[in-house]
A and B are shown apart, each in its own frame.
Chain A
Amino acid sequence: DGGITQSPKYLFRKEGQNVTLSCEQNLNHDAMYWYRQDPGQGLRLIYYSQIVNDFQKGDIAEGYSVSREKKESFPLTVTSAQKNPTAFYLCASSLRNSPLHFGNGTRLTVT
């Protein structure tokens, strides 16, 4: 059963701590993406990767880092430099020239 798995579904962290969100896909998609959703706002692109060992900043990359060591995995680290980390984070993947497939998201709360 192919899909995108994001874990955990809910994550709580103290301010000042880095936290890594997991995203795994078994769809054999080359491209992977991280979006952030805030209440009343659309999804905003954080980082994306079109091929293993390569990634680009999206519109709101500050305070985040990613890696793409394997085709199926694209973890996102929310660093202490991110000023407003509490949000709903969505990972997606796609084949070239095809719509994005999304995971079910991770809700991160930082207090």
Chain B
Amino acid sequence: DQQVKQNSPSLSVQEGRISILNCDYTNSMFDYFLWYKKYPAEGPTFLISISSIKDKNEDGRFTVFLNKSAKHLSLHIVPSQPGDSAVYFCAATPGSSGSRLTFGEGTQLTVNP
């Protein structure tokens, strides 16, 4: 039972354009959501998070949007840069901490120069 789902295995965008990565979840108990970025042969690194009391959180070029009624969140990267090319994982947890996470399958983002 995949409680966190990223339906797009891959996404390709041009440098300077917006990248939108999507994530859906099924567990109503999830109330804290995170995005991690992963380069090959490295561990994931934390990118941005959002609590269920908010619908948007912004950090520089990265913005996460949360639609609780649709159980959907998205990560917007603008403008996209070639260095953003990586696998992006969405994760969720039924608590305010970042621990005991349930991860999605990941989306490979490729930003073309």
Contact = CB atoms under 8 A, between A and B. Distances in A.
Given A99-B46, A99-B49, A40 B98 contact: no
B96 A97 contact: yes
A33 B97 CA distance: 14
Interface string A39-76: 01111110010100000000000000000000000000
Interface residues of B, number: 25
The dominant DSSP class at the B interface is loop
A43 B89 contact: yes
B94 interface: no
A105 B105 contact: no
A71 B38 CA distance: 26
A59 B106 CA distance: 18
A96 B101 contact: no
B34 interface: yes
Interface in B69-113: 89, 91, 96-106
A21 interface: no
Given A40-B105, A42-B104, A102 B44 contact: yes
Interface size class of A (residues with CB under 8 A): 20 to 34
B98 A97 contact: yes
B60 interface: no
A33 B41 CA distance: 18
A78 interface: no
B4 A42 contact: yes
Given A99-B46, A105-B41, A43 B103 contact: yes
5 contacts: A40-B9, A40-B105, A45-B102, A50-B99, A94-B98
